[in-house]
Structure 1
Amino acid sequence: MTATAPRFGPSPVRLLLAATVLLGTLVGALLAGASPASAHAALTGSNPKDGAVVATAPKDVTLTFSEQIAMGNDSIRVLEPSGKRADTAKIRDLSAAGKVTYAVDLLPGLPNGTYTVAWQAVSADSHPVSGAFTFSIGAPSETTAVVSGQKAGGGVVGILYDIVRYASYAGFVLFTGGAAFILVCWRRGASERPLQRLVVQGWVTLTAATLAMLLLRTPYTGSGELADTFDLGGLRDVLQTKTGAALSSRLMLLGAAALFIAVLFGAYAKREDEAEKKDLTFGLAIGGTVVAAGIAGTWALSEHASTGIQPGLAMPVDVAHLLAVATWLGGLAALLTALYRAPSIERTAVQRFSTLAFGSVVVLTATGIYQSWRQVGSWSALTGTSYGQLLLVKIALVVVLVAVAWISRRWTARLSEVTATEQELESVTVPDDAAGSEESADPERAAQLARQQAALATTREKKLRDDDPERWGLRRSVLAEAGIAVILLAVTTVLTSTEPGRTEEEAARAGGTRAAATVPQGPAEIKLPFDTGGKNGKGIIRLSLDPAASGANEMHVWIYSPDLKLMDVPEVKVAFTLKAKQIGPLPITPDRVTAGHWTAGAVQIPMPGDWQVQVTVRTSDIDQTTIDKNIKIG
């Protein structure tokens, strides 16, 4: 047969190597660029507040979060200025009426100074979150408390966890899509060794990745130390969590999947009666769909779909989305394997896959639109958040993949019903009895001849396969599809560990509101007339606070006589009270600078609000008065 198109020599190998390098680079960039543990649950409030200065030690520290979280007894740590633990290491759940609040009791007799509160938890969508803030008792001080700068879920453990997360998705895609391709598109493929290897490798990858995620879960959500991977106590605790239950359920479902594979490549592949095979196909399709949906449900029940708005609808939609992705991309991998490794594949099988892929894309689009609305929520979040930007990249990749699939569909239409390979292989036969009579007397010679004939058949088979122009074009376009699909799966994996745009924008909006409330408005000033009742006991107090915002402020106090001349007095004291929040009084003793002028630096105001300022003036040993006036801070 004369070649009518360029041959597939080493170029596919080079393309596959290039795709592998590209994948490694892309995954590395995405994992490095994206936060390993985005704030899926956010700290929305605390008592004491961040930066607050309280007069006496509180009995406990409370933290309020934006959504449900999981905490252990060591999840909140309060450290003294010396770095010693200041809490009892017993967490109390105070959540009520939709408000998620946890508290930890403090030890009695705590000294004055600045305290550090470090917390770490697991959000409802299975991702670890952490943070830290400070407050002061009496007055701020230096602190030697050290809090790890590494975010929860980061470091080497975080990188390994992200890798096995990707491997689990890839394994699910190969196992589910490969089996669907055989049952729906090419039943004869159940007997083809390359397709068998593809499906089994997908199952093995998913099983190994699930086991690895279970073992890595303890350090991933806790210490961050790789040595804790084989901590049996930690593994027991993990199994009691929602994520641990999902992973262990996945392992049990993979046991059922192993039985499905054994039947598919055993009894089903050997069955020759078409009627019986049709019935078995239906049974395997139903059973396989149930198992695959169950495995997909382990993701839906433990990640983004299980939290936020409409979880009851979002979880089944997520299952449908995952099944559509696996059927499309996994079927694509199976088709590529058949085109490169199988002796031949009928046009009808490729056409069936084309129809199956189209249906998957329709389901993928419908479920993707709903998921995008649910996770993003607004056009601004689509372009202004990490999740939205990654989603745009995913959409662009899907569009390119569909365009390349359209090219593959055109090549499919040009395939011959019976390929040249099938026609020419008939000429590759063993010698007839007459020619082989001499060799049959010599078993060694017969075995050698059989090996030569097998090698000749393989060589001619590859030649005919590579010289088929339609097959060559289809292989090239499907290879391009597979390369894009690998990148698409990497982006999807990163999306699962990125904070949804809706929650990120809401957190930013809430943060912006708080920031706007504490924007410095410049110095605030009040004037208070006073009368201590003694000689020279009348005058006017002028108090200035700069910048009149939460945090550190500089305070100046001037005392004037009734004729508006600076007047010296023995003592001036100031106190700040925020009655609305029951904070204070916070006592301040300013230093005398010159006659009639007192000042205090680093006056700590813990939060904005309408504060009451009390000024005590003593004009003699026995004459003193306290006056007060409200001042707007922030």
Structure 2
Amino acid sequence: MKTIAPRFRHLVLLFLAVTGALLAGAAPASAHAALTGSDPGQGAVVQQAPQQVSLTFSEEVAMSGGSVRVLDPSGKRVDNGKVGHPKGTTYTVGLHGGLPDGTFTVAYQVVSADSHPVSGAYTFSIGAPSKTSAVIADQNAGGGVVGTLYGAGRYVSYAGFVLLVGGAAFVLACWPRGAGIKPVQRVVVGGWTALTAATIALLLMRGSYTGSGKVSDIFDMALLGQVLQTKSGAALTSRLLLLAAAALFIAVLFGAYVKRAEDGDKKEIKDLTFGLAVGGTVVAAGLGATWAMAEHASTGIQAGLAMPVDVLHLLAVAAWLGGLTTLLVALYRAPSIEASAVRRFSRVAFCSVVVLAATGLYQSWRQVGSLSALTGTTYGRLLLIKVGLVAVLVGIAWISRRWTGRITASAAAPETVGEQRTDSPDTLSSDTDSSDTVSSERISSKEKEPVAVAAGGRSDDPRRAAQLARQRAAMTTAREKRVRDADPHRFGLRRSVLAEAGVAVVLLAVTTVLTSTEPGRTEEEAKSATSAAQTQSGPLSLKVPFDTGGEDGKGTVLLDIDPGRTGDNVMHLYVQRPNGKGFDVPEVKVALTLKSKNIGPLTVTPDRIATGHWSASGVQIPVAGDWKIEVTVRTSDIDQITVSKNAKIG
């Protein structure tokens, strides 16, 4: 059989490829709160300078003094930096008095309730639109190098949680003897180390991730102090405290627990196992809650129910995938593992899948909400990919259960495997000693000599004796490996479990991206709210005849406004003679008035494009309503007329 090193190399390469594809070069995190309204509105033209700007989001957000900036046409900041929160999801910032006419820019950068940064900008005008030299600094919150590092840190933290909790659960619930196996200990300790390091890194990067996006701000202690006062900072700090308790748990599990097992005191082992199980469950649930209290589960509908469900979901993932990883390591690295341990893990994995299915179904309904969101949003499509991967994982797990059944049957009726009989009916491979032999192998006399000398212990040279002892240990290890590899059932189980682990790596990466993607329900609600704020009636086309009364003064104006909504529009005018040919008049102007709101007239002077064709872009329709559209046409120095027509826009 091939050595395990290439297989683990392939698994690592798969991990790097998936992580790179999903995290490297990623765009800023999808906004989990959307701007659904503002006053003044986007593209609005107001006659008097407002005293404040108000922003309404789809959910509550976290703001600071610099979260909202208002810039005048010259790019000078004109807000007072005082952010108010009058009600619900509406926030305000005050403006200085005596503002000039022209176009103003509103830039915002906030943090949504589920911990993700949101940024954007829009314009409104006082009096009439104007040119603006306002420059919005590169809003790199959630993106760039820091965003990529933060995403990688999230992946490592999930992986560490899975290994820590799942590995410890595997030892306590399935394989107590594994507590004394070094490779198994390394799985659990490695999980704790990864989770601790990732949590510290996330805490340091948090301020830059939601703010400037600069690498230099990662070690800004003032910024770290601000992070500690936020919900996400509190969650990460709590996670570090719980990891200190987890370190004590690991010390007892791999210290006192192993020692009691070696002493053979069954009562003490039973009491200690119960204590570790209770304490470990509390710590694991607490660690899971640090995600639930700060991310998707903490916002939206039924948050009180969603958070404990999310904790159960995380624990089920850890018990399945973490236990799977520990089993894989045991199959490849441990001298032996009892068939009963594999059977017990098979039952644990089945229960975990049931819990995952129930909690995942509830979470999917809560986060997606509709079939259209399932296929029409990024979150929904990622969720479908995740479900597909889980289905593949369950299929491979079914194959693993078949191998487990064969191992159980083999253990119940001991048989010779590769001419080497196992020592125990409940052991996948024997813990061989110096008396073990493999009749199918021929051991040369050169191999036997150092074993005999070492066993006799007659060498007077201590260095030679130590060398022979090492040779004997190496030969024993090699013989144990040959015996393990000769077991076809163990070989088959190892291959299927390795395949499960490979799929699990991809699944965990997709899950990490899913947790940083805007939920489908939120995205659709935000789109609906935005559509309501920017009502659209579709492209508007008007045909207005005119007659200036002078020679060659008759014709028709064709006016198109596209897309015919509040906000930015493009206007096209076509002036035609009675015979339908283009009429190249000296001047044409348009004015829009909404009497019901005392808005206007808003004058538009289009640019000549070709004979009889004029155009204007950036035409602002501030609000929906029944607008009066006046077109002034001049056919000579003294002949001109203004014709009008009413049209509903929005």
- Taking structure 2 as the reference length, what is the TM-score of the superposition? 0.83
- Quick one: structure 1 residues 590 and 243, their matched pair in 2 at CA, closer, same or farther if it must change by over 3 Å? closer
**Letter paired with 1:607:** V
Aligned residue number for residue 48 of structure 1: 40
Separation in 2, partners of 1:161, 1:380: 31
- Quick one: structure 1 residues 409 and 63, their matched pair in 2 at CA, closer, same or farther if it must change by over 3 Å? same
Aligned ranges 1:136-175 → 2 under 5 Å: 136-148=125-137, 150-175=139-164
Separation in 1, partners of 2:533, 2:544: 23
- Quick one: structure 1 residues 420 and 151, their matched pair in 2 at CA, closer, same or farther if it must change by over 3 Å? closer
Aligned residue number for residue 190 of structure 2: 201
For residue 137 of structure 1, report the CA deviation from its aligned partner.
1.9
Match of 1:403 among 395, 417, 421: 395
For residue 584 of structure 1, report the CA deviation from its aligned partner.
2.6
Match of 1:131 among 120, 140, 164: 120
Query: Is 2:536 the partner of 1:547?
Result: no
Aligned residue number for residue 229 of structure 2: 240
Aligned residue number for residue 216 of structure 1: 205
Aligned residue number for residue 175 of structure 2: 186
Contact 1:420 1:464 in 2 (8 A): no
- Quick one: structure 1 residues 485 and 578, their matched pair in 2 at CA, closer, same or farther if it must change by over 3 Å? farther
Identity of aligned residues (%): 61
Greater shift in the superposed pair: 121-130 or 505-514: 505-514
Aligned residue number for residue 599 of structure 2: 584
**Letter paired with 1:223:** S
Aligned ranges 1:102-117 → 2 under 5 Å: 102-117=91-106
- Stretches of structure 2 that go unaligned for 5 or more consecutive residues are 412-424, 438-449, 547-555, 576-588, 609-613, 633-641
SS at match of 1:393: helix
Aligned residue number for residue 374 of structure 1: 366
SS at match of 2:207: helix
Deviations 1:390-447 (A, max 9, x none): 11111111111111111111112222334474264352599799962532x5433332
Separation in 1, partners of 2:74, 2:271: 74
Query: Is 2:515 the partner of 1:496?
Result: yes
- Stretches of structure 1 that go unaligned for 5 or more consecutive residues are 1-6, 528-541, 559-571, 594-598, 617-625
Deviations 1:440-493 (A, max 9, x none): x54333322322221121111122122221111111111111111111111111
Aligned residue number for residue 296 of structure 2: 304
- Quick one: structure 1 residues 372 and 278, their matched pair in 2 at CA, closer, same or farther if it must change by over 3 Å? same
Aligned residue number for residue 247 of structure 2: 258
Separation in 1, partners of 2:177, 2:379: 42
Name the count of aligned residue pairs.
591
Deviations 1:312-343 (A, max 9, x none): 11000000000000000000010011111110
Contact 1:47 1:62 in 2 (8 A): yes
**Letter paired with 2:274:** F
Contact 1:524 1:631 in 2 (8 A): no
**Letter paired with 2:456:** G
Aligned ranges 1:65-104 → 2 under 5 Å: 65-94=57-86, 96=87, 98=88, 100-104=89-93
Greater shift in the superposed pair: 416-425 or 501-510: 416-425
Contact 1:59 1:105 in 2 (8 A): yes
SS at match of 1:142: coil
Aligned residue number for residue 258 of structure 2: 269
Separation in 2, partners of 1:526, 1:611: 19
Deviations 1:490-549 (A, max 9, x none): 11111100111111122234445566624222127699xxxxxxxxxxxxxx99864283
Separation in 2, partners of 1:583, 1:202: 66
Separation in 2, partners of 1:71, 1:252: 27
Separation in 1, partners of 2:55, 2:159: 39
RMSD: 3.6
SS at match of 2:337: coil
Query: Is 2:336 the partner of 1:328?
Result: no
Aligned ranges 1:273-292 → 2 under 5 Å: 273-292=265-284
SS at match of 1:129: strand
Separation in 2, partners of 1:576, 1:54: 12
Separation in 2, partners of 1:63, 1:146: 20
Separation in 1, partners of 2:382, 2:605: 54
Aligned residue number for residue 610 of structure 1: 626
- Quick one: structure 1 residues 447 and 557, their matched pair in 2 at CA, closer, same or farther if it must change by over 3 Å? closer
Deviations 1:111-147 (A, max 9, x none): 2222211101000000001111111222222222222
Query: Is 2:456 the partner of 1:436?
Result: yes
Separation in 2, partners of 1:583, 1:526: 27
For residue 160 of structure 1, report the CA deviation from its aligned partner.
0.3
**Letter paired with 2:289:** G
**Letter paired with 2:621:** I
SS at match of 2:128: coil
**Letter paired with 2:304:** G
Aligned residue number for residue 464 of structure 1: 483
Contact 2:48 2:126 in 1 (8 A): yes
- Quick one: structure 1 residues 384 and 627, their matched pair in 2 at CA, closer, same or farther if it must change by over 3 Å? closer
Match of 1:14 among 2, 6, 12: 6
